[in-house]
Amino acid sequence: MKRLLACLALCLGIAMPAHAERWEFRFAGKGEGTVVTADQAYDPAKGYGFEPGYLPGGDRPFLFSLKVPEGNYRVTVSLGDVKAPSRTSVKAESRRLMLQGIETRKGKFETRSFIVNVRDLSLPAPPQNAPGGTAVRINEREQGKLHWDDKLTLEFGDKAPRLAALSVESVDVPTIYLAGDSTVTDQPSEPGASWGQMFTSFLTPDIAVANHAESGETMKSFITGLRLDKVLSRMKAGDYLFIQFGHNDSKSAWPQTYVDPATTYPAYLRVFIAEAKRRGAVPVLVTSPHRRTFDAAGRITNSHGDYPDAVRRVAAEESVALVDLNAMSKDIYEALGPEISPRAFSNDGKDPTHHNNYGAWLMARAVVAGVAGTDLALKSHIRADLAPFDPKHPPGPDALMLPESPMRSNLVPRGN
């Protein structure tokens, strides 16, 4: 069958991923696939199973992992239960939202698909005597995290999460690479969250999001830590590179990575743009969201100085698409006001910079609205069923019915 599909793809001119693989699992009822019981913890020898400490049972969340090579994978889940109604939300890797609140009646099942990007630390070895490295230089907080291991991990949670069947298949689809800081990254633990890990849920299931952003990062450190090398090593024509830096780049107290908004900051932005274009990818500049700093009149004050304007200027000069999250976040915070807006931020609103699930969801929705206002072909990958979104009239905190993940941490993001 695989040989027949490959021949048909060749005749029709359809691109097939190298070493295409497919896995099928069955968790309940009849059907095809490897049977997995609820007590089956992840076994490195088998390469699949439930994560220890997060096995299914009752209505608690559970995590299932499958060992796979790095790449993009189409995941298809059958959600539901023969004996009872269910409500399931699905996240991937480090809490990337894929599906939200899928409900089924007793004996009914819903089948949904989405794309998950999986990566590891490895880099192609540089030629002899050439500079570079063979692995991304991650920080101590990233070690052992789900978004840097050799597995595809899925989290099933909500009021009554139920998984009946699962298939995973390697695919060749366009990829959106995210380069940025703590306001973009996949925050691995509650109560923090960032817009990059909510982004996929607003897109059609035929495009991948590879979130390489990390807390505390700057454009300079993204280069010296070989994170940009990692992105560029996988990037291909037709992909996208979203670039959002500024929160940490502007810190003059960090002399090794500080960049001036009039000179070095736009210069580094142009480096990222040029590297993407050189590979046939489409660069997109994103202005940093505001910090939640209100004046006496209830207006957001500018805590980013000249940096957002520098991004806008570079986007115009380089003819690059711009998503003005800085302007939209101002509208969102002011619309919510000083009383409600803290409910969009981490640490019960004590953190004025980093978001919780609701705030991250709002920022991601704003980014999608920004994309919709550009001429990017990426617009065709925005879900058609999304409700209209106006940053000046954002939905309130109770509009997002998203359960928290079981992973929690009291550590503040790097760079805070």
Q: Which of 127, 144, 172 is the last residue of a domain?
A: 172
Per-residue confidence at 18, pLDDT binned at 50, 70, 90?
Answer: very low
Please state, as a whole number, how many other Cβ atoms lie within 10 Å of the Cβ of residue 317. 10
- pLDDT at residue 12 greater than cutoff 50: no
Asked if residue 410 belongs to a domain, the reply is no
Per-residue confidence at 17, pLDDT binned at 50, 70, 90?
Answer: very low
Closest C-alpha to 353, from 404, 268, 280, 289: 289
Q: Residue 207 maps to which CATH number?
A: 3.40.50.1110
Q: Residue 86 maps to which CATH number?
A: 2.60.120.430
- Do 153 and 244 belong to one domain? no
Predicted local distance difference test score (pLDDT) of residue 28: 85
* Per-residue three-class SS string for 222-246: HHHCCHHHHHHHHCCCCCEEEEECC
As a whole number, mean pLDDT of residues 208-233 equals: 98
Closest C-alpha to 285, from 302, 298, 272, 267: 272
Q: Write out the residue range of the structural domain in which residue 161 sits.
A: 22-172
Asked if residue 258 belongs to a domain, the reply is yes
- Do 193 and 163 belong to one domain? no
- pLDDT at residue 2 greater than cutoff 50: no
Asked if residue 4 belongs to a domain, the reply is no
Rounded to an integer, what is the distance from CA 408 to the centroid of its chain?
18
- Do 220 and 168 belong to one domain? no
Number of domains in the chain: 2
Predicted local distance difference test score (pLDDT) of residue 13: 38
Please state, as a whole number, how many other Cβ atoms lie within 10 Å of the Cβ of residue 90. 24
Percent with pLDDT over 90 in the chain: 92
Cβ–Cβ < 8 Å for 170, 21 = yes
- Do 127 and 140 belong to one domain? yes
Closest C-alpha to 173, from 208, 130, 213: 208
Asked if residue 61 belongs to a domain, the reply is yes
Tens digit of pLDDT for each residue in 237-293?
999 999 999 999 999 999 999 999 999 999 999 999 999 999 999 999 999 999 999
- pLDDT at residue 15 greater than cutoff 50: no
Per-residue confidence at 412, pLDDT binned at 50, 70, 90?
Answer: confident
As a whole number, mean pLDDT of residues 51-76 equals: 97
As a whole number, mean pLDDT of residues 104-111 equals: 97
Task: Work out the mean pLDDT of the chain and round it to a whole number.
Answer: 94
- Do 217 and 151 belong to one domain? no
- pLDDT at residue 38 greater than cutoff 60: yes
As a whole number, mean pLDDT of residues 152-160 equals: 97
Cβ–Cβ < 8 Å for 208, 235 = no
Predicted local distance difference test score (pLDDT) of residue 332: 98
- pLDDT at residue 16 greater than cutoff 60: no
Helices (H), 187-226: 219-224
Q: Which of 172, 187, 212 is the last residue of a domain?
A: 172
- Do 255 and 358 belong to one domain? yes
Residue 230 to residue 217: CA distance in whole angstroms: 15
As a whole number, mean pLDDT of residues 319-326 equals: 98
Asked if residue 1 belongs to a domain, the reply is no
Peptide bond into 191 cis (omega under 30): yes
- Do 183 and 166 belong to one domain? no
- pLDDT at residue 209 greater than cutoff 60: yes
- Do 178 and 168 belong to one domain? no
- pLDDT at residue 11 greater than cutoff 90: no
- Do 52 and 190 belong to one domain? no
Percent with pLDDT over 70 in the chain: 95
Helix (H) or strand (E) holding 326: helix 325-340
2-24 burial string, b = 16+ CB within 10 Å, else e?
eeeeeeeeeeeeeeeeeeeeebe
- Do 214 and 354 belong to one domain? yes
Asked if residue 93 belongs to a domain, the reply is yes
Q: Which of 172, 196, 217 is the last residue of a domain?
A: 172
Cβ–Cβ < 8 Å for 107, 65 = no
As a whole number, mean pLDDT of residues 158-183 equals: 98
Predicted local distance difference test score (pLDDT) of residue 317: 98
Predicted local distance difference test score (pLDDT) of residue 20: 59
DSSP state string for 256-303: TT---TTTHHHHHHHHHHHHHHHTT-EEEEEPPPPP--B-TTS-B--S
- Do 205 and 124 belong to one domain? no
- Do 190 and 109 belong to one domain? no
Per-residue confidence at 131, pLDDT binned at 50, 70, 90?
Answer: very high
Residue 329 to residue 389: CA distance in whole angstroms: 13
Predicted local distance difference test score (pLDDT) of residue 211: 98
Predicted local distance difference test score (pLDDT) of residue 29: 75
Asked if residue 72 belongs to a domain, the reply is yes
Asked if residue 281 belongs to a domain, the reply is yes
